[in-house]
Every structure is written in structure tokens, then in C-alpha cells.
Amino acid sequence: MTDDFAPDLPAFHLRDPHAHFRRLRREDPLPWYAGSGGAWCVLKHADVAAVSRDPQRFTSTRGVQLGFSDAGSRPAGIPPTILEMDPPVHDLHRKLVIRAFTPAAAKQQETMVRAIARECLEAIERDGVVDLVEALAVPVPMYVIAEMLGVPRSDRPQFKRWSDSLIEAGGGHRSPATDAALGEMLGYFAGVLAERRRAPKDDLVSTLARAEIEGEKLSDPAILMFCITLLAAGNETTRNLISGGSLLLARHPDQRARLLAERSLLPNAVEEMLRWWTPVQSFIRTATRDTELRGKRIREGDVMLLLYASANRDEEIWGDDADRFDVARDHARQRHLAFGFGEHLCLGAPLARLEARVVFEELCARFPRFELAGEPQLLHSRLIHGVERLPVAFRS
Ligand code: HEM
């Protein structure tokens, strides 16, 4: 392995990691990396899928983010998130909310999502230069999840401030200000929860307030944790599918022209954006016992870094042109791993797909010729493949 292979460093991901991934998939597709406490780097599509579908051998209970791989260090009284559970406990929690996240349920959200996307696009001045991240990619997922949690419109500005703090803290930039904002947010949801216990509505907080696991109601901290998890898991991910997808369309005029000529390709184009961009670059698992993978001896307690970004360019699955962005690529037979795989397959996948499809339908209808108007600023993160600023000229 070369010295500049450092998947735990944001700078590595900013400098196009795919040259490294490509070479390693060929030469040593399961290398040991000594940084950040050490991890096996799982680069092949088949291996990421195999580890993800085997929670008995590879647990989520020791944390899912590299560098945070000791769930034992969680402060007392903070329950684990659904991401950090294994079956059978995990299945019980997932069942509580699955009905709100099926493809059929997502379909019912379409009118609401479209209204939010239109509102954002209508606020954009024609013939001006606008940051697409701030104007579109940030507000759409945030207001959609706010609606689902039952946050009224009048509370949106403070909700945005809290969500930003959540993202900042999640990105490792914890400060007294972010802690204070998170405290306010928890207090706010505690109030919503108390209200919904008194007078249930048709929203997720009411669903969670009613929910029982083996005859027992969920505790307030568990419900609040669920709300925060949905916010954290649904916001920045979908934001970067929208911003990353927009950047791809701006940089590949031939692909955009094809899409404009053949709008029915849009759902497939969203799959290709997910594959090519891969908003979540990696999660981890921890080996529960000594075992073997690809001929390597894995020891109990070893961390497995699931590099979705690499699996989604694996030539064995996607062919020699895996690096090409192709809105017509066949996604019916092959499955990208941008939403993970197995037990923890992204709960919000149908919703994220719907949001992206609706946003791009509306964007292409209103501003089919949007163009880059400056250098995009990419997010400095080892977890999220993101765009921080995307200056775009919206021509009439
Ligand atoms: C493009 C957008 C999104 C991407 C790329 C994404 C990615 C992922 C990935 C890779 C996982 C697997 C975690 C693991 O295996 O440890 C996951 C799980 C999860 N996602 Fe998403 N996600 C997206 C949108 C959303 C949305 C919109 C929501 C909800 C509003 C959401 C909620 C969740 C939850 C709750 C889990 C945990 C599921 C479980 O543990 O059973 N995600 N997501």
C-alpha cells in the first residue's frame, strides 16, 4: 500500500480516491490500514455485501463510523441509534417506523415534496448566480423531514439552525454553540412528544409515541434519539445526492441533453448519481470473532471499513467503464451499494429517491440550461461525499 492511501483523512477523499481504490481492487482488495486504530478496507462490491449481510460475524453495536468505533464510550443515558443495533433488537425497532418509509408511503409524500421543491425553485432569480446548495439541496430534504416529524412551518427557521448544528457536530466540529443548539432541539422535540402523547396526529412522532416493543412503550430518550437519527441520516445524505447530482449534470452536458430528451430516464439517472457520487463513502462493522475473508485472517474486534464508494466502481460489477457517468446504465440487474446492504439497508431510500427524482424533474423543467458559474467547493469530510457550495447561473 502506498503512503498516501489514508481513507480516514478528509483530504484523501477530496483528492479523487478512485485511483487508489482501482489499483487496490486489482492488487490487494482487502488491505489492512493502520491509521485511526486500524481497519480492514473492504473495497470489493461482493465483500461489502457479504460483511453487511452477516451481523452475527460483523456487528454494528460497536459503532458505525470510523474513529467512533467504541459504542461503549457513549455517554450514560444516551440510547444507541438504530444504526448501532443488531438483530433481533434491531428488527423490532425497524418495524416501528418501516410503514412510514415504504415506497408506497414515499409515493404519498410526492405532492408535499413537489410543493417544497417548487417553492425553493420559484425563489431563485432568473439570470442570476445562486448557490444551488443553499437554494435547493439544503432546504428540500430538511423541510421534507420536518413535515414528516410534524414540525409546523413557523418553526422552520429555528429547525434549520438546529439541523446545521447537528451536521456540524456530526462532522466532528463540536463546540459549546453546537451543544447548546442540540440541547434546544432535544427540548423542542420533548415538547412535541408531550403534545402528541396528549393529542396524537398523523406524523412520525405520534407513531413513535404509540409504539410498543414487546408490550413496553418506547422511553422518551429512545424516541428523541430516533427523531435525531432520522434528521441526521436523512438530511446531509439527500442534500449531497441533490448537489452532487446537479454537479454531475452540469459537468456532463451530453448526459443532461439525453435526460432532457428522454425524461423517463430520470429514475435511472438518480440511481447512476447514487452509484457515481455515493453520498455516504463508508461505514464500519466490527468482527465478533476470529474469522476469514478473501483469504485474510480477521481477528475478533477488528474494524471492517465498508468503502461503498469503491464497491460502486467495482469493474467486476460495472464493467471497464465503471468510472463513466452514464444516465442510461443498466441498474435493473446490478445493485449499487450507496444505501448499504442487508439488515441496515437505508430506511429512507424510497424517500431519498423520490426527493431526488422530483427535484430533478422540477429543475429540468424550470432551468434546463443551468450552468456552473464558479468552482464548486467540496465538503471536507471522510464520511460524506459532499458539496459545500455550488455557484450556478440559472438562465431563463
Ligand atoms: C441519498 C440519501 C441517502 C443515503 C446515501 C443514505 C445512506 C445510508 C446508508 C449507507 C445506510 C446503511 C447504514 C449501515 O449499513 O450501517 C443508511 C441507513 C439508514 N438511513 Fe439512509 N441514506 C440516505 C437517505 C436517508 C433518508 C432520507 C432517511 C430518513 C429520513 C434515512 C434514514 C436512514 C436510517 C434510519 C438508517 C438506518 C437503518 C437501519 O439501521 O435499519 N436515510 N442510509
- Please tell me the distance from the alpha carbon of residue 308 to that of residue 49, in angstroms, as a whole number: 10
Is the Cβ atom of 282 under 6 angstroms away from ligand 1? no
163 CA distance to ligand 1 middle (Å): 17
Does 158 reside within a domain? yes
CA angle 171, 177, 183 (to 5 degrees): 90
Does 329 reside within a domain? yes
- This prediction has a pTM of 0.94
Does 3 reside within a domain? no
Count of domains observed in the chain = 1
Q: Which atom of ligand 1 is nearest to the CA of 141?
A: 27
151 torsion bin: left (phi>0), alpha (psi -120 to 50), beta (else): beta
What is the band of 12 on the pLDDT scale with cuts at 50, 70, 90? very high
Does 1 reside within a domain? no
Does 229 reside within a domain? yes
Please give the residue range of the domain that contains residue 222: 10-393
User: Whose C-alpha lies nearest to ligand 1, atom 41?
Assistant: 344
Grid coordinates of 63: 459503532
* DSSP 8-class letter at 287: E
Tally of residues, the chain: 396
Grid coordinates of 24: 487496490
262 CA distance to ligand 1 middle (Å): 29
Taking 80 as the threshold, does the pLDDT of residue 1 lie above it? Answer: no
Taking 90 as the threshold, does the pLDDT of residue 60 lie above it? Answer: yes
11 CA distance to ligand 1 middle (Å): 24
348 CA distance to ligand 1 middle (Å): 6
Q: Is residue 350 within 8 Å of residue 110, measured between CB atoms?
A: no
- Please tell me the distance from the alpha carbon of residue 388 to that of residue 197, in angstroms, as a whole number: 38
User: Whose C-alpha lies nearest to ligand 1, atom 1?
Assistant: 238
Q: Is residue 259 within 8 Å of residue 364, measured between CB atoms?
A: yes
Does 188 reside within a domain? yes
Is the Cβ atom of 338 under 6 angstroms away from ligand 1? yes
Does 4 reside within a domain? no
Can you give the CATH number for the domain in which 79 is found? 1.10.630.10
76 torsion bin: left (phi>0), alpha (psi -120 to 50), beta (else): beta
What pLDDT digit, counting tens, does each position of 211-226 carry? 888 888 888 888 888 8
What pLDDT digit, counting tens, does each position of 147-173 carry? 998 888 888 888 888 877 877 776 666
Q: Is 163 helix (H, G, I), strand (E, B) or coil?
A: helix
Does 70 reside within a domain? yes
Q: Is residue 301 within 8 Å of residue 63, measured between CB atoms?
A: no
Lowest mean pLDDT among 97-106, 160-169, 273-282, 303-312: 160-169
Percent above pLDDT 70 for the chain: 95
User: Whose C-alpha lies nearest to ligand 1, atom 7?
Assistant: 339
What pLDDT digit, counting tens, does each position of 270-289 carry? 999 999 999 999 999 999 99
Count Cβ atoms within 10 A of the Cβ of residue 389 and give its class: 0-12 exposed, 13-18 middle, 19 or more buried. middle
Is the Cβ atom of 51 under 6 angstroms away from ligand 1? no
Other CB atoms within 10 A of residue 141 CB: 28
Rg (CA), the chain: 21
